[in-house]
């Protein structure tokens, strides 16, 4: 296999093979790869707490994101949207909105990157924030538009046409779907869309989930990088960001998650 065994984040330790996966985990979507004879991916870990999912399906996943990541028809999206939205007690989206409400001013101009079902931007609008969205899944794009959410790009890596500047740019469970050099490019790119005091909010799966085993969603196929508090902090500092908030949370939906605010 053609990759360096040194951890690309701390540059200190060799990464070690933790587990090889040959089949689907419970709740995991392999997008049809499970029907292929030689499906295989390897989970590696470094002493800094960072995990790497190493496999040869990145081109395949890229296509999936563009075409049918959601695998839902418009009607089903609407149903799921309402179901999640009504279950307020269990909403990790609402918890996130509550958290951000305390961190930024009302009327702030916010850009949500990778909006998915749009529950987060939808609730943010209700709280008085001005929201723009970026989403690449065709079904989701049409759905977001039907909820009167403002789409400014359908490709995370293409933002040249965006002329606005933002108080806050949010990446909720998005960056783990990219390799490290792509994450670097993406964060640098979006930094250029920030207002003078603007900030970036990041949510990624937390590798602390390993205490409950490796068959969990935090370590699923499409997460190339699973950060630890330590590795995320190191990574962001290397990119010359100032880390103004960094914390691990165990979410109401039982996900181990890291939250960070940087500028």
Applying CB under 5 A, which residues contact Zn ion? 7, 9-10, 46, 48, 50
Could you tell me the smallest distance in angstroms from the CB atom of residue 6 to Zn ion? 8
Q: Between residues 7 and 261, which has the closer beta carbon with respect to Zn ion?
A: 7
Could you tell me the smallest distance in angstroms from the CB atom of residue 21 to Zn ion? 21
Q: Between residues 46 and 221, which has the closer beta carbon with respect to Zn ion?
A: 46
Distance (Å, whole) CA 203 – CA 261: 9
| Torsion angle defined by CA atoms of residues 91, 177, 55 and 6, in that order, rounded to the nearest 10 degrees | -110
Could you tell me the smallest distance in angstroms from the CB atom of residue 227 to Zn ion? 10
Structure tokens at 145: 């538009």
Could you tell me the smallest distance in angstroms from the CB atom of residue 18 to Zn ion? 13
* Residue closest to Zn ion (Cβ): 7
Structure tokens at 10: 């701390």
Q: Between residues 10 and 110, which has the closer beta carbon with respect to Zn ion?
A: 10
Q: Between residues 85 and 230, which has the closer beta carbon with respect to Zn ion?
A: 230
CA distances from 134 to 66, 118, 154, 235, 239 (A): 13, 10, 6, 24, 23
Show the beta-strand stretches assigned E in 70-115: 109-113
Could you tell me the smallest distance in angstroms from the CB atom of residue 61 to Zn ion? 24
Q: Between residues 153 and 225, which has the closer beta carbon with respect to Zn ion?
A: 225
Specify the pairing of strand 194-205 against strand 150-153.
unpaired
């Amino acid at each position: 296999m053609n990759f360096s065994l040194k951890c690309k984040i701390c540059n200190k330790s060799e990464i070690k093979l933790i587990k090889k996966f040959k089949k689907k985990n419970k709740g995991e979507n392999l997008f049809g790869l499970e029907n292929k004879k030689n499906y295989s991916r390897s989970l590696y870990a470094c002493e800094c707490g960072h995990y790497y999912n190493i496999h040869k399906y990145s081109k395949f996943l890229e296509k999936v994101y563009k075409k049918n990541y959601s695998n839902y028809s418009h009607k089903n999206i609407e149903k799921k949207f309402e179901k999640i939205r009504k279950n307020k007690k269990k909403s990790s989206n609402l918890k996130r909105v509550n958290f951000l409400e305390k961190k930024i001013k009302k009327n702030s101009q916010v850009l949500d990157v990778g909006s998915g079902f749009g529950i987060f931007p939808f609730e943010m609008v209700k709280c008085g924030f001005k929201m723009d969205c970026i989403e690449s899944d065709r079904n989701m794009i049409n759905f977001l538009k039907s909820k009167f959410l403002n789409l400014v790009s359908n490709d995370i890596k293409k933002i040249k046409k965006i002329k606005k500047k933002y108080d806050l740019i949010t990446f909720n469970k998005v960056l783990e779907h990219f390799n490290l050099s792509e994450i670097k490019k993406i964060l640098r790119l979006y930094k250029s869309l920030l207002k003078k005091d603007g900030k970036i909010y990041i949510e990624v799966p937390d590798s602390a989930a390993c205490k409950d085993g490796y068959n969990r969603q935090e370590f699923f196929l499409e997460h190339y990088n699973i950060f630890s508090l330590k590795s995320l902090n190191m990574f962001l500092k290397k990119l010359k960001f100032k880390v103004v908030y960094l914390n691990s949370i165990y979410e109401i939906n039982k996900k181990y998650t890291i939250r960070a605010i940087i500028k």
